[in-house]
Amino acid sequence: MNQLELLWNYQQADMEAERQENTMKRSPARQRLLKYQEYLREQKAASLHLEEEVQAMSDRVDALNDAIMHAEAQLKALHSRFESARPENSKEVQSFIQETQRLLQNINGYEQEVRRIRKDVDGRDSQHRDILQRAAKVRADYDKLKTEYEAEYKENMEKLEKLRNTAAEQGKDIEAAYMDKYKSIKQHIMPPLAQLSGDQCGGCRMSLPSAVLRSVRGGTPVECESCGRLIIK
Ligand SMILES: [Zn+2]
């Protein structure tokens, strides 16, 4: 057998292994596992995002509580000043009342914001619980399916290894230059070799120029200008 015939036989074995690999990739169990994984990743990101939001809200509540305490202290100081030195005219009374109202308004505003944030936090907490519950259920399904898939994978892997070994056996007498060519074409198109079909490339059905036909028929393989496959007799 010449190098091209060996390469052609190798391609048959190699393609069979490729088919097995593709079957494994398309396995419904594997596809479902990948979907579950994606879902779990999304839920984890959503959960993290909620936690960050709740943390930021809790920081804001702390800041508001500090502001409330500060305003209450100011209010207390204002009243002590009022008690110790009673205002002497209506203008001073007016100013005391205004300052008191301003501080009370501030406190009221802060308290309203705290209540609003607490409500938002409750909403997010409940969203978070839903996410965790759903994720736990999917995680359980995922674990169950993964156990099933592992058995399937092991069996398929054994099959694939056998096919790969057969291909390696077929390829052992092929010279490096031919094998390298095969592998480099394989990166662009599969299968890498095509047989001449009349005056066409058997891979892409492109009619070949007579010079190319002469070379191929004479036993010199030529790469198809259209699909890049190595055309052999
Ligand atoms: Zn072609």
Question: Which pLDDT tens digit goes with each residue over 26-55?
Answer: 999 999 999 999 999 999 999 999 999 999
Residue 191 DSSP code: S
Q: Which of 73, 128, 135, 131 is nearest to 106 (CA)?
A: 73
Distances in whole angstroms, Cα of residue 57 to Cα of each of 9, 53, 114, 116, 160:
68, 6, 9, 10, 54
CA of 213 to the centre of ligand 1 (A): 12
- What is the whole-number distance in angstroms between the Cα of residue 192 and the centre of ligand 1? 10
Q: Would the pLDDT of 227 be above 90?
A: yes
**Does pLDDT of 147 surpass 90?**
yes
For residue 132, how far is its CA from the centre of ligand 1 (angstroms)? 54
pLDDT in the model for residue 86: 85
Same domain, 81 and 194: no
Strand 200-201 relative to strand 230-232: parallel, antiparallel, unpaired? unpaired
Helix (H) or strand (E) holding 223: strand 222-223
Looking at residue 164, which CATH number applies to its domain? 1.10.287.1490
Same domain, 139 and 216: no
Q: What is the pLDDT of residue 10?
A: 97
Mean pLDDT of the chain: 96
DSSP letter assigned to residue 115:
H
Note if the bond before 221 is cis, omega within 30 degrees. Answer: no
Q: How far is the CA of 89 from the centre of ligand 1 (A)?
A: 104
Distance 69 CA to ligand 1 centre (A): 82
Distance 186 CA to ligand 1 centre (A): 13
State the pLDDT at residue 1: 79
Query: pLDDT (tens digit, 9 = 90+) per residue, 69-119?
Result: 999 999 999 999 999 988 889 999 999 999 999 999 999 999 999 999 999
Domain span including residue 196: 182-232
Q: What is the pTM of this model?
A: 0.70
Q: What is the Å distance from ligand 1's center to 200 Cα?
A: 8
